[in-house]
Structure 1
């Protein structure tokens, strides 16, 4: 099954570190981005198997990045998008789903919960 590549975009350094460690332990190859602009550039540049986006990031939100991705001609256009968010409101969830987000995880969450979602999405693919 090879090493699946995941792009992780979150502006919180500590959380990014924790998630990178957790996902790397599962055998995933992680590329990090610090904001929506970096995430967009990386998604335009190389193929990934899945992308994890924080909702609230500088430059572009996770929802903005996802909407851009779904409408782009990037090779990543159809990959699963996991959105991490502290916004648990239904309207935020609807906005995310409308932008093409595959899965939605509300903060705070356990890294194990994220692993479960990621594994599930990649096994389906």
Structure 2
């Protein structure tokens, strides 16, 4: 089955809380089979209502919920970027969104280097505003 960034993010959120598909389904009122299809990438672009139910059921931190909502609207995000942001909880939603626009011309994505550049740019912008 194809993987998706949304699926990886959702699965990581569920795993972090040690919940089964059925646990999340029961808490959210969303069918466990549909959640499974979202996690595996067989389904994409869930409605805002479904995303809200899932984030509530998972007790998501605002960062996790915001990134999940972004991924529901942007289905072309590289799944490895979602994995990178799961592992590095310091990646903010705005930095994550900026990372989705980075083009790696033929090279393997180096999200850590790109993130460092984005952070430097953001710091320079903040200094210019002050």
Normalising by structure 1, we get a TM-score of 0.30
Q: Which has the higher helix share?
A: 2
Which has the larger Rg? Answer: 2
Indicate the structure whose relative CO is greater, using CA pairs within 8 Å and at least 6 residues apart.
2
